[in-house]
């Protein structure tokens, strides 16, 4: 799929460099069609491909997708198993395509609950795409922002005990370096699909100045064109970062 770049109107912001997306609505998409929830998740994987392919032409250099939250383990065991199976399928089938298109893949979140098989897929996928210089694609898996922040605080506490770290040396930059996203820029815009208007424990620290775009489109129906519309919405906004 190819996308034409949407030009920025005079006097407004350029395209967002980092787009973060909460991919919501798979279950409702399937229910509306009388299909099992698994069908929604599978169609949602197709939407991932569409958005990844569309991003570079829109000026997006970093794309972060909320794929599986730390709270999602509470879902029925069968659905969790289907999600993990789809994750394995995606990594097995898509990495070759990511390499072909110069996409670098990163995976953030706690890894302690994943099987050795999936952990090996994570490592292989990241290693095979590490040298790519195109779109930076980040998948947030078993991720929760409050958990991430607590982990960073624990790391500081251990450093204070083990190395005598001076609490006065801790600033925002030092804190950011201890998050999963240490080598990523903060998101310029957060998109949530399906009409819901919540951030759902996603990138709470990193989104301090992100613009929020809520799309009514269910994630399985979300396309490169919908991403272009969200980018156009972002460009029409005036970002002051606390100034006048």
The CATH number linked to 50 is 3.40.1180.10
Q: Is position 243 within any domain?
A: no
- Reply yes or no on whether 97 is catalytic: no
d(CA 14, CA 19) in angstroms, rounded, equals: 13
Q: Is position 149 within any domain?
A: yes
* Active-site choice (72, 151, 186, 201): 72
Q: Which residue range(s) make up the domain with 168?
A: 18-235
Q: Is position 143 within any domain?
A: yes
Q: Is position 244 within any domain?
A: no
Q: Is position 4 within any domain?
A: no
Cα 222 to Cα 21, 29, 73, 191, 202: the distances in Å are: 11, 11, 25, 11, 20
Supply 61's token pair.
Answer: 């250099």
Q: Is position 217 within any domain?
A: yes
Q: What is the CA radius of gyration of the chain?
A: 18
Mean pLDDT by 10 residues, the chain (244 residues): 39 80 96 95 94 96 95 89 90 92 97 95 96 97 97 95 92 96 97 97 97 97 97 89 62
**Looking at the 3D structure of the chain, how many domains does it have?**
1
**Per-residue confidence (pLDDT) for residue 176, from 0 to 100:** 97
- Reply yes or no on whether 233 is catalytic: no
* Active-site choice (24, 82, 188, 226): 24
Q: Is position 66 within any domain?
A: yes
Supply 177's token pair.
Answer: 């370096």
- Binding residue positions: 24-29, 37, 41, 69-71, 73, 75, 192, 198-200, 211
**Per-residue confidence (pLDDT) for residue 241, from 0 to 100:** 67
Q: Is position 201 within any domain?
A: yes
- Binding residue positions for Mg(2+): 24, 211
CB 81 within 8 A of CB 36: no
């Amino acid at each position: 799929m190819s996308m034409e770049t949407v030009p920025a109107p005079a006097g407004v912001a350029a395209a967002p460099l980092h787009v973060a997306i909460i991919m919501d609505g798979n279950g409702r998409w399937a229910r509306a069609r009388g299909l099992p929830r698994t069908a929604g998740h599978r169609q949602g994987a197709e939407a991932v491909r569409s958005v990844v392919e569309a991003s570079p032409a829109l000026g997006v250099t970093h794309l972060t997708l909320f794929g599986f939250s730390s709270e999602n383990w509470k879902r029925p065991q069968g659905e969790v198993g289907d999600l993990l199976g789809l994750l394995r399928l995606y990594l097995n089938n898509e990495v070759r395509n990511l390499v072909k298109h110069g996409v670098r893949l990163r995976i953030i979140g706690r890894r302690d609950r994943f099987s050795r098989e999936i952990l090996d897929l994570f490592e292989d996928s990241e290693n095979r795409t590490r040298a790519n210089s195109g779109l930076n694609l980040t998948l947030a898996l078993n991720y929760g922002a409050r958990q991430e922040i607590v982990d960073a605080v624990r790391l500081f506490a251990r450093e204070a005990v083990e190395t005598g770290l001076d609490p006065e040396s801790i600033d925002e930059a030092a804190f950011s370096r201890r998050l999963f996203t240490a080598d990523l820029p903060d998101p310029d815009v957060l998109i949530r699909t399906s009409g819901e208007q919540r951030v759902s424990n996603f990138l709470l620290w990193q989104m301090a100045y992100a613009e929020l775009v809520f799309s009514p489109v269910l994630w399985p129906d979300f396309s490169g064109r919908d991403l272009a519309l969200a980018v156009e919405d972002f460009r029409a906004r005036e970002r002051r970062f606390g100034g006048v």
